[in-house]
C-alpha cells in the first residue's frame, strides 16, 4: 500500500480521519500553496484560497471515489478555487473575463512578499501576459515539473493539447523577454 492509499484509508476511518486530515494538510500545503500563488500572485490571497481548498476537500471527502489520485483531486480543487477567485476579482474590477491580467501585474508590483530580482520580475510579467490556461500549463510543466499525463488528469485536457499550449506559452514568453523593457 502506497502513502496515498494509506492516507485515504486514514481519512475514511472516522477514528483516524482528523489525524489523516492533519497529515493531508501537512503533506500537500506547500505544493498547493505555490500552485495557487502562481495563479493569483498575492501571498495573502493564496493563503486564503488554500484554506478554502482544504475546507472544500474536508467537506467533500466522502464524495472522493478514488478514480483519480488524491493529488490530482486536490490540484483540481486548488485550480478551480483559484479560477473562481480570479473571476470574482475581474468582476469586482469590471474587467472582462477574456481581458488581460493587468490587475495581477499590479499585484505583483506591489507584493511585499516578492523577493525576486529584476530578471525574475520580468519573467513573472512575461508569464502574466499569457492567457489563463496557458499560464496554468506553463507553471505546472515548467515550475512544478509535472508530467503531461498528470497535468492531463488534473485539467482534463489531452496531452497533445497540453504540449501545444506549453509550446505556445514558451514562444510568447521568449518573445516578451526579447523585447526592450
Give the domain-ending residue among 115, 135, 151. Answer: 115
pLDDT for 115 equals 58
pLDDT for 90 equals 76
Q: How far apart are the first and last CA of the chain?
A: 53
Q: Rounded to an integer, what distance in angstroms lies between the CA atom of residue 45 and that of residue 37?
A: 8
Are 146 and 126 part of one and the same domain?
yes
CA angle 105, 137, 106 (to 5 degrees): 5
Are 165 and 111 part of one and the same domain?
no
42-56 exposure pattern, b = at least 16 Cβ within 10 A, e = fewer: beebbeebbebbbee
The sign of the dihedral angle between the CA atoms of 147, 150, 156, 158 is positive
Give the domain-ending residue among 94, 115, 136. Answer: 115
Helix pair angle (17-40, 43-59), 10° resolution = 140
For residue 111, the SS3 value is coil
* pLDDT mean by block of 10 residues, the chain; 181 residues: 86 93 95 91 93 95 85 93 87 61 60 64 84 90 90 93 96 92 70
Domain that holds residue 11: 1-115
Q: Rounded to an integer, what distance in angstroms lies between the CA atom of residue 56 and that of residue 77?
A: 8
Maximum separation of any 2 CA atoms in the chain, in Å: 60
Give the domain-ending residue among 71, 88, 115. Answer: 115
Are 111 and 122 part of one and the same domain?
no
Cell of 70: 488524491
Which CATH number belongs to the domain containing residue 49 in this structure? 1.10.1740.10
In the chain, the number of structural domains is: 2
pLDDT for 42 equals 87
Amino acid at each position: 500500500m502506497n502513502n496515498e492509499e494509506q492516507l485515504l484509508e486514514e481519512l475514511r476511518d472516522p477514528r483516524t480521519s482528523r489525524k489523516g486530515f492533519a497529515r493531508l494538510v501537512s503533506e500537500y500545503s506547500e505544493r498547493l500553496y505555490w500552485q495557487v500563488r502562481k495563479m493569483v500572485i498575492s501571498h495573502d490571497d493564496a493563503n486564503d484560497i488554500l484554506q478554502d481548498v482544504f475546507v472544500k476537500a474536508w467537506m467533500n471527502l466522502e464524495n472522493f471515489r478514488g478514480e483519480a489520485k488524491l493529488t490530482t483531486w486536490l490540484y483540481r480543487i486548488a485550480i478551480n478555487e483559484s479560477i473562481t477567485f480570479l473571476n470574482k476579482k475581474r468582476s469586482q474590477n469590471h474587467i472582462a473575463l477574456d481581458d488581460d491580467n493587468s490587475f495581477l501585474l499590479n499585484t505583483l508590483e506591489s507584493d511585499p512578499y516578492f523577493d525576486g530580482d529584476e530578471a525574475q520580475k520580468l519573467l513573472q510579467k512575461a508569464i502574466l501576459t499569457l492567457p489563463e490556461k496557458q499560464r496554468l500549463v506553463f507553471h505546472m510543466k515548467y515550475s512544478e515539473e509535472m508530467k503531461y499525463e498528470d497535468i492531463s488528469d488534473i485539467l482534463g485536457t489531452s496531452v497533445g493539447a497540453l504540449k501545444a499550449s506549453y509550446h505556445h506559452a514558451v514562444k510568447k514568453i521568449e518573445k516578451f523577454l526579447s523585447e526592450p523593457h
